[in-house]
Amino acid sequence: MTSHPIVGIDVSKCTLEVCVHGQAEMVRFTNSSDGITRLTSVLQPMQPEVIALEATGGYERLAANLFSQAGLPVAVVNPTRVRRFAQGVGELAKTDKIDAGIIAWYASVVKPAPNGQQTEIEQKLASFVERRRQLLVELVAEKNRLSTCGKPIRHDIEEHIEWIEAHLEHLEHEIRDCIAQKADWQARAEIIDSVPGVGEVTASTMVAELPELGQLNRQQIAALVGVAPYNRDSGPKRGKRKITGGRAGIRKVLFMATLSATKFNPAIRTFYTRLIQNGKEKMVALTACMRKLLVIINSMVHHGEKWRLITV
C-alpha cells in the first residue's frame, strides 16, 4: 500500500463496496449519512490520492458531497469507460466486489482529476434543473398518452398535465432565484439567452451543468459536451466520424436550441443551409451546427459579450 492510496467505490442504492488499489480486502458500508461518515473516518487517515466512484444515477451524490466536505479528493468517473477498461483487461465477470476493484484499478491508470466541491447554492440549482428535466420528459409522455387515451381516463391525464405544468412554472421561478443570487451566473445566463434560438431552459441548464463554459478552447468544450467527432479509421478504411460520450443533459438542450437556431439564428441558419447544399445528411449537419453554436456561446462567455455585441 502506498502512502497515498487510490480508492475505488462501487455504489449501489443501499451499499458502498470499497477497495484500496493493490489490496485484496473489500469493505462494505451502507450508502447513508451514518455509513459514509464511518467510511470517511477510515479514509481520512489514509490520505488517499483520489477516491473514485462511478456515476450511478444519483446514488453516488451523497457520498461525493460528504467526502468533498471532509476535504477528501473524490472523482466521479464514467461507468461506461470503467466497464470498457474491465473488458480490456479481461475481467468479464461483474459483481459489486469485482467492480470496486476495477474502479480502483481504472483510477490508478487514468488518474482522474478530483471534482470541485459544490456549494449549497450550486447543489440547489443542479437539483432544480434536474427535476425540471424529469418533469419535461413526463409532460411529453402524458401529452402523447392524451392523444390516444380512452374517454374514461382523459380527465385524469389532463389533470396530471396541469399539475406538471404548474410545478414546472414553480421550478422556473426557483431556478431564476438561484441564478440571481450570483452575479456571475446572472451575467452568464443573460449572455447565453441573448443568442437567437437559445432560450431560458438552455441558458439555465448550461449555467448549472457546464461551469467550464468560457474557460476551455473550442476543441475541449466540444469534447466535454460530447459533440466532437472522433475518427474511426483502420488501415486504408476511413470510417464515418461519430460523436460519443460527454454530458447528455447539455447535449439534449443544445440539440433543441440548434433546431431553433437553424431557423432564427443567421449564423447557424447559413451554416446549416450550406452543409445541406453540400450533400451532408440532416443529422450530420445538425451535429455540426450544435458544435458551432456551442463554440459561439463558449467564445461569448469567455469575452463577456452578448450576441448583439459580436459579429457573426
**Tens of each residue's pLDDT in the chain, 312 residues:** 447 899 999 999 999 999 999 888 889 999 999 999 999 999 999 999 999 998 887 889 889 989 998 999 999 988 888 999 999 989 888 888 899 999 999 999 999 888 877 788 998 999 999 999 999 999 999 999 998 988 899 999 999 999 999 999 999 999 999 999 999 999 999 999 999 999 999 999 999 999 999 999 999 999 889 888 766 655 666 656 666 667 888 999 999 999 999 999 999 999 999 999 999 999 999 999 999 999 999 999 999 999 874 444
DSSP of 62-101: HHHHHHHHTT--EEEE-HHHHHHHHHHTT-----HHHHHH
In a domain, 115, yes or no: no
The pLDDT of residue 2: 47
Same domain, 21 and 146: no
Same domain, 83 and 183: no
Same domain, 213 and 304: yes
Task: Write the CA distances from 58 to 53, 64, 76, 233, 250, integer angstroms.
Answer: 11, 10, 11, 36, 17
In a domain, 1, yes or no: no
Same domain, 47 and 139: no
Same domain, 158 and 301: yes
* 4 closest CA partner among 108, 150, 99, 142: 108
In a domain, 118, yes or no: no
Same domain, 194 and 86: no
- For residues 243 and 206, give the distance between their C-alpha atoms in angstroms, rounded to a whole number: 19
Are 202 and 208 a contacting pair, CB within 8 Å? Answer: no
Same domain, 162 and 299: yes
The pLDDT of residue 52: 95
- For residues 36 and 29, give the distance between their C-alpha atoms in angstroms, rounded to a whole number: 7
Same domain, 272 and 210: yes
The pLDDT of residue 312: 46
Same domain, 176 and 281: yes
Same domain, 59 and 140: no
- For residues 282 and 116, give the distance between their C-alpha atoms in angstroms, rounded to a whole number: 38
Same domain, 208 and 297: yes
The pLDDT of residue 232: 62
- For residues 245 and 228, give the distance between their C-alpha atoms in angstroms, rounded to a whole number: 9
At which of 60, 84, 110 does a domain end? 110
Same domain, 191 and 223: yes
Task: Write the CA distances from 98 to 66, 88, 92, 93, integer angstroms.
Answer: 24, 15, 10, 8
List the CATH number of the domain containing 71.
3.30.420.40
The pLDDT of residue 1: 43
At which of 55, 75, 110 does a domain end? 110
Are 255 and 247 a contacting pair, CB within 8 Å? Answer: no
Task: Write out the residue range of the structural domain in which residue 15 sits.
Answer: 6-110
CA angle, 179 then 56 then 2, to 5°? 105
The pLDDT of residue 235: 65
Q: Output the pTM of the full model.
A: 0.78
Question: How many domains does the chain fold into?
Answer: 2
